Chain A
Amino acid sequence: MTEETRKLEKSQEKKLTISKWLSLLVIAEYIMISILILTQESHFLPLFIGVFALLFTAGTIFFYFKDMFSGVLKPTAEEEAEYERMIEQNKIEQEKQRK
């Protein structure tokens, strides 16, 4: 097992543990919302929903832009080279077909 694979597995395990805790949070969140709705709690309900939604949305947007523009959208040098090779290959194939 290489160092990289070990790192990947460790990070995966961490994420899977986080997700298990998050699922407990989800269950607690909806139990809380259910109680607030059934007791017709008119002040805390919108506050609870609003804060949760705002935190989630703001966090997602922040990390989205951080990840999207640093990793996913920006092609690696290897990918760029592969793309160029593919374009060349296509040109050669088209040329062959024309002939």
Chain B
Amino acid sequence: MDFTNLWSSIDMAIVIVYFAVVLGIGFYLRRRASKNMKSFFVASRRLTIPIMICVAVAGWYDSWSIIGVAECGALYGVSIIFVYVIPGVILRLPLAIWIGPLVRNKIPDWVVTFPDLFEYLYDRKTKLVQACAFLPVVLYESAPLLAAGQVLHMVTGLNIWLLLCLTAAVIILYTSLSGMFGLAVTDMVQFLIMGVATGAVILGIYSYFDGFGNLFDQIEAYNPNFLTLKGEMSGAEMFSWIISAVAMYANAQCYQRFGASKTGGDVAVSYTLMMCFGGIFSITWVFAGMAALIAFPEATSTSEQFWAMIFTVLPVGMRGLFVAAIIAAVMSTASADMLLAASILMTNIIKDFLKPDMTERQNVVGTKIALWVIGGFIVLGTIFFQDGISKAYYYIGGFQASVFMIPLLVGLYYKKKTPAAGFWTLIICVVLYISWEFILGAPFGLPSNVVTMVTSFVLFMIISKLTYKGDEDKSLESNSIQ
């Protein structure tokens, strides 16, 4: 299908205005974020509940949450809501009401980045391993960036590499100018655009099918299993979807946002409120995917069905807003991940281990330079994800969750943990994940993330038992409020 003839100059103008607005915000807030790393990376720990909601929504919901979830709707029907969307919301509640406030209230002020938290829980060696293992994770952003580039290419017909570089440059520019302060404002713009576009699509679908009753009838006629709890999924498939929902517990962005909030209470309220919205947002896209399948059965792929649906139900102008929403979803998540990776590279690797005499000012400037370098790698990384975002979600998301989750979560609560347990568990699990997935090819039908996570837990507990000597308790619960 050729979508360029459905793309008007009004739509193009909306996308250009969107780019101009996020850049403008970056310039406007650059002074606020340039004082020191605390102002640049965690917005001086001043973000309040509504601002936290916007940064959390815009950070958690990327292009996967729109295009990917819609494609899942077209493949699995409503069952994806019951095995992925709703468990995703419910299983993340403990992160919001217990872990977030605990991390925010009990961490000392010097803990700014994710590796800092590992240093606090274990030691400097563990921090270095965690920082080095975390850096490749940022390549996940190549997949959503590619999705944004493909959308722009589809509607404008321009060279995709040019569009990728342009999108990456805008993200880096506003993030490097204003850090977390900039993200707090641009994420609000992105949250608004995503919300309005989602509402417009659902209204368009409602009017296209003349009510949800007709949509339900047509889905049932197409495949009655699409409207059942389990759909056509096997038990193992359902289990793996449910498990993927807990990956957020090892997401560095979450911990950065916890650190940026004003108090632990703000974290708890904002994240639980976000759950009210987040699930609805994803459910909407599952229905959009099913509607696209019914309306355009002749399309060659679920992606083509999706875009045909969007361009049919939305009027001129709203199409531009929708494309801006996809780009917004990509930019908000990518900017946060780039900021994380750049800060980790500069602060936790270069400053802490190679150039300790670096001033705060040099650190902030270095982080901005690192953002451009990392952005370049992310653009190049799009080569690996030409066949879809799900591959990135599977490999990189699986790596992140299975390697970091046990040392982080058990480390927060287990009083008999030891630095040796954190250090060796991280090293062995990095090697195990890579070997199991890429050298052995995940034998015996056992997914790498499950094998790594189980090994991580067993190893951590054994090493802790062997090396614990009744040292000082460093679990966060034992500390007083900072």
Contact = CB atoms under 8 A, between A and B. Distances in A.
B276 interface: yes
B265 A60 contact: no
Given A49-B283, A56-B277, A63-B50, A72 B43 contact: yes
A22 B273 contact: yes
Contact of A30 (B54, B89, B101): B89
Given A22-B276, A26-B89, A16 B265 contact: yes
Interface in B189-232: 191-192, 195, 198-199, 202, 206, 211-213, 215-216, 220, 227-229
A63 B46 contact: no
Contacts of A18: 268-269
A64 B50 contact: yes
B265 A72 contact: no
Interface in A36-51: 37-38, 40, 42-43, 45-46, 49-50
A56 B53 CA distance: 10
B103 to A, nearest CB: 14
A43 B101 CA distance: 39
A40 B48 CA distance: 39
A86 B34 CA distance: 10
A19 B263 contact: no
The contact size tier of chain B is 35 or more
Interface residues of A, number: 52
Nearest to A72: B46
B265 A63 contact: no
Interface stretch (B61-69, B78-86, B455-463): B78-86
Contacts of B273: 22, 56, 60
B106 interface: no
A68 B371 CA distance: 26
Given A23-B97, A26-B93, A72 B51 contact: yes
Contacts of A23: 93, 96-97, 272, 275
B166 interface: no
Q: Which of A13, A30, A59, A67 has the most CB of B within 10 A?
A: A30
B35 A72 contact: no
A82 interface: yes
A29 interface: yes
Nearest to A38: B229
B276 A26 contact: yes
A9 B195 contact: no
A59 B277 CA distance: 12
Contacts of A8: 263
A68 B280 contact: no
Nearest to A59: B50
B83 to A, nearest CB: 12
Contacts of A19: 96-97, 265, 268-269, 271-272
Contacts of B211: 42
B263 A11 contact: yes
Q: Which of B202, B269, B481 has the most CB of A within 10 A?
A: B269
Contact of A64 (B29, B89, B93, B188): B188
Contacts of B198: 53
A42 B82 CA distance: 18
A45 B213 CA distance: 10
Interface in A1-41: 8-9, 11-16, 18-20, 22-23, 25-27, 29-30, 33-34, 37-38, 40
Contacts of B165: none
Interface of B: 29, 31-32, 35, 43-44, 46-51, 53-54, 78, 81-82, 86, 89-90, 93, 96-97, 101, 105, 181, 184-185, 188, 191-192, 195, 198-199, 202, 206, 211-213, 215-216, 220, 227-229, 263-266, 268-269, 271-273, 275-277, 279-281, 283-284, 359, 361, 481
Interface of A: 8-9, 11-16, 18-20, 22-23, 25-27, 29-30, 33-34, 37-38, 40, 42-43, 45-46, 49-50, 52-53, 56-57, 59-64, 66-68, 71-73, 75, 79, 82-83, 86, 90, 93
19 contacts: A16-B101, A23-B93, A26-B276, A27-B90, A27-B93, A34-B82, A38-B228, A40-B227, A49-B284, A53-B277, A57-B277, A63-B49, A64-B50, A67-B51, A72-B43, A73-B29, A73-B32, A73-B185, A93-B359
